[in-house]
Amino acid sequence: LANFKGKDLLRIDEFKPEELLYLLDLANRLKQNQKSGQVYQPLKGKTLGMIFSKSSTRTRVSFEVGIYQLGGLGLFLSDKDLQLGRGEPISDTAKVLSRYVDAIMIRTHAHEDVEELARHATIPIINGLTDRFHPCQALADLLTIKEHKGKLQGIKLAYVGDGNNVANSLILAAAMLGLHVRIATPQGYELSSDIAELAASYAEKSGGSLLVTNNPQLAASDADVIYTDVWTSMGYEAENEVRLQAFAGYQINEALVKLAAPDYIFMHCLPAHRGEEVAAEVIDSIHSVVFDQAENRLHAQKAVMNAVM
Ligand code: CP
Ligand code: NVA
C-alpha cells in the first residue's frame, strides 16, 4: 500500500500491471469484508471532494458510499455551483481544495483539465471520466471478468462500438494484463492511433494481443467477453443522428452473440440504450453481468482510495 500513497489515477496505464493486479486483489478483499459485515475504516477523518461537470449515477453514488464505508466523507461538488463553473482557474481550485480535502475525484470533459488539476494539487486526483479515459471503470471491469471467468490472462475480449473513453481505458488495461483484445468500430470511430499503438506494445509484453477491425463478427467470434458502450457519449449529443447511422450494424444482438463462446458474458459500463448499441434480449439475458459490473465500481474504487489516500 505504501507504494501507492499520494499517487494520482488519471489513466489506467500509470499503474504497472502488477500494481493493477494488487488493486484488483485489494478490491476483492474489501468486497468480501463488506459482504461479511466487517467494518474497515482506514480513512477515518479523511475527505474526498467529488467534482462533477457531467451527469452520473454510478460514479457519484459508488464514490460517496465508498469513502463513507472506509470511514471518510465525500463532498459532492457540481461545477454548476463551484466558482470553477464561473471561470475560477483550475489551478486556483486545485490549490484551494488541497487545503481542505485529502483527495479529489473529478468527472469532466477535457482530459487536459484533469492533468492541470493534478499538476497544481498537492493531493491525489482520481479521474472519474473524461472525454478520453475512464480508468475506474476499467478496474471494475477487470474485477468483474476475473470473478466470472476465474482469470484474466488469455481471455478473449471483444469490444464492439465506439472507440471512446471507456474503450481506451478497458483496452489499455486488458492489454496490460494479457487478454486477447479485439475491437470493432465503424470507420471514423476507431481507437485513436496512440492508444492502439500503446495497447499493442503492452500486449506484446503481457502475452496478450490486439486486433483492430471494422468487422464486428470477426471481433465477436469465439469471444469470452462481449463489451459495448453507448454510441453517443456525454458531450457529443449534437452528433447523435450521424452516429446512429454510422453504428447501424454494430448492435450487440442475438445474431452477433451466437458467434461468441457458449459461456460468454455480456458487459456494458451503463447507462445503456436498449435497441441501439445492445438488444434487450442480450443485456437482459443470463449472460449479462452488467449489474455485477456496476457493483464492482464500489469495490474497485474503495481499493483505489484505500491505496492512494
Ligand atoms: N459507468 C458510469 O460511469 O456510470 P455513471 O455515468 O452513472 O457514473
Ligand atoms: N462513454 C460514455 C460513458 C458513460 C459512463 C460517456 O462518456 O458518456
Q: Which of 11, 107, 182, 268 is catalytic?
A: 107
Residue 86 is classified by DSSP as: G
- For residue 184, pLDDT over 90 is answered with yes
Q: Both 208 and 83 in a single domain?
A: no
Q: Give pTM, 2 decimals.
A: 0.98
Q: Both 123 and 182 in a single domain?
A: no
70-81 pLDDT, tens digit each: 999 999 999 999
Q: Both 290 and 300 in a single domain?
A: no
- Domain containing residue 281: 135-294
Residue 124 in grid coordinates? 491525489
Nearest ligand 2 atom to alpha carbon 164:
1
238-276 pLDDT, tens digit each: 999 999 999 999 999 999 999 999 999 999 999 999 999
User: For residue 266, which phi and psi values (nearest 5 degrees)?
Assistant: -100, 135
Q: What is the mean pLDDT of the chain?
A: 98
Count the domains in the chain.
2
Q: Ligand 1 centre and the CA of 62: distance in Å?
A: 9
Straight-line distance from the first to the last Cα atom of the chain, in angstroms, rounded to the nearest whole number? 10
Q: Ligand 2 centre and the CA of 265: distance in Å?
A: 20
Predicted confidence band of residue 104 (pLDDT cuts 50, 70, 90): very high
Are 274 and 282 in contact, with CB atoms under 8 Å apart? no
Q: Both 142 and 58 in a single domain?
A: no
Q: Ligand 2 centre and the CA of 254: distance in Å?
A: 24
pLDDT at residue number 229: 98
Q: Both 105 and 220 in a single domain?
A: no
Q: Both 140 and 125 in a single domain?
A: no
Q: Is 297 considered catalytic here?
A: yes
Instruction: Find the helix or strand (DSSP H, E) in which 56 lies.
Output: none
86/189 Cα distance (integer angstroms): 33
Residue 307 is classified by DSSP as: H
Supply angle C-alpha 60, 102, 68, rounded to 5.
Answer: 45
Q: Both 178 and 269 in a single domain?
A: yes
Mean pLDDT confidence for 185-192 = 97
Q: Which of 129, 191, 237, 239 is the pocket-test mutation for ligand 2 (most atoms within 8 Å of CB)?
A: 129
Q: Both 119 and 31 in a single domain?
A: yes
Mean pLDDT confidence for 272-289 = 98
Share of the chain above pLDDT 90, in %: 99
Q: Both 288 and 140 in a single domain?
A: yes
Picking from 295, 223, 209, 294, the residue whose alpha carbon sits closest to that of residue 252 is: 223
242/180 Cα distance (integer angstroms): 31
Residue 272 amino acid letter: A
